[in-house]
């Protein structure tokens, strides 16, 4: 396809736009839970294990599927607070593993991305569960709708640290 025709092809243009990010994001927070309903342990670094999950996290025990890691958009913490009538929400309350800032997390669904030494693949949306009513109070479930984040598989293991860059690598194969 000629470059003029590619520029006019809406599908080609959309593919180009979907691959453009204004900058890399960064890891703002990390947390793992050793078992369901346990308190989140806030970490400065965690080992991501390919095909398994994060070391020390309870999802690692059953992580053969798509939900090996959960991520949430850091900018949404203030939005959630505003919807709940309180200050920005502490990420530990939301039961996610990684808070990412500076890159549109939902744009990474179906794409591979690097965080620190690890390569992840955005596998789906992280929808809220009924526990949000317990944790955030009445209406917590609806406050989280559209702000639950992303689930991901770990394609290549490695260490992830607070402050690490989050960079798009392109469409997942």
Domain boundaries, the chain: 22-171
pLDDT (mean) for 111-129? 95
pLDDT (mean) for 9-36? 87
CA 164 to chain centre: 14
> How far lies 134's CA from each of 118, 140, 150, in Å?
33, 8, 21
pLDDT (mean) for 161-167? 98
Q: Are 29 and 100 in contact (CB under 8 A)?
A: no
CA 52 to chain centre: 16
Q: Per-residue pLDDT for 59 more than 80?
A: no
Percentage of the chain surpassing pLDDT 70? Answer: 92
Domain covering 22-171, topology:
M1 Pyruvate Kinase; Domain 3 (2.40.33)
- For the stretch 71-100, pLDDT in tens is 999 999 999 999 999 999 999 999 899 999
Label residue 70 by pLDDT band (50, 70, 90): very high
In which residue are the tokens 């009924």 written?
130
Give backbone dihedrals phi and psi of 62, rounded to 5 degrees, phi first.
-135, 35
CA 61 to chain centre: 19
pLDDT (mean) for 30-49? 92
Burial class (CB in 10 A: 0-12, 13-18, 19+), 49: middle
DSSP structure class, residue 92:
G
Burial class (CB in 10 A: 0-12, 13-18, 19+), 88: middle
DSSP states of 9-33: -HHHHHHHHHT--SS-EEEEEEEE-
pLDDT value, residue 29? 98
Whether this prediction's pTM lies above 0.75 is answered by yes
Label residue 156 by pLDDT band (50, 70, 90): very high
In which residue are the tokens 């997390």 written?
105
Burial class (CB in 10 A: 0-12, 13-18, 19+), 162: middle
Q: Hey, what are 165's tokens?
A: 């860059």
């Amino acid at each position: 396809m000629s470059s003029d025709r590619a520029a006019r092809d809406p599908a080609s243009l959309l593919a180009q736009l979907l691959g453009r990010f204004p900058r890399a994001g960064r890891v703002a927070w990390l947390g793992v839970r050793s078992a369901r309903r346990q308190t989140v342990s806030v970490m400065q670094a965690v080992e991501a294990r390919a095909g398994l999950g994060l070391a020390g996290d309870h999802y690692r025990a059953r992580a053969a599927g798509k939900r090996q890691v959960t991520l949430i958009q850091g900018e949404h913490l203030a939005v959630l607070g505003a919807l709940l009538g309180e200050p920005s929400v502490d990420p530990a309350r939301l039961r996610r593993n990684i808070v990412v800032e500076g890159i549109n997390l939902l744009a990474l669904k179906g794409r591979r991305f690097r965080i620190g030494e690890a390569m992840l693949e955005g596998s789906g949306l992280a929808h809220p569960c009924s526990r949000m009513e317990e944790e955030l109070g009445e209406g917590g479930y609806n406050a989280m709708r559209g702000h639950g984040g992303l689930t991901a598989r770990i394609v290549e293991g490695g260490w992830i640290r607070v402050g690490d860059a989050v960079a798009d690598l392109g469409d997942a194969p």
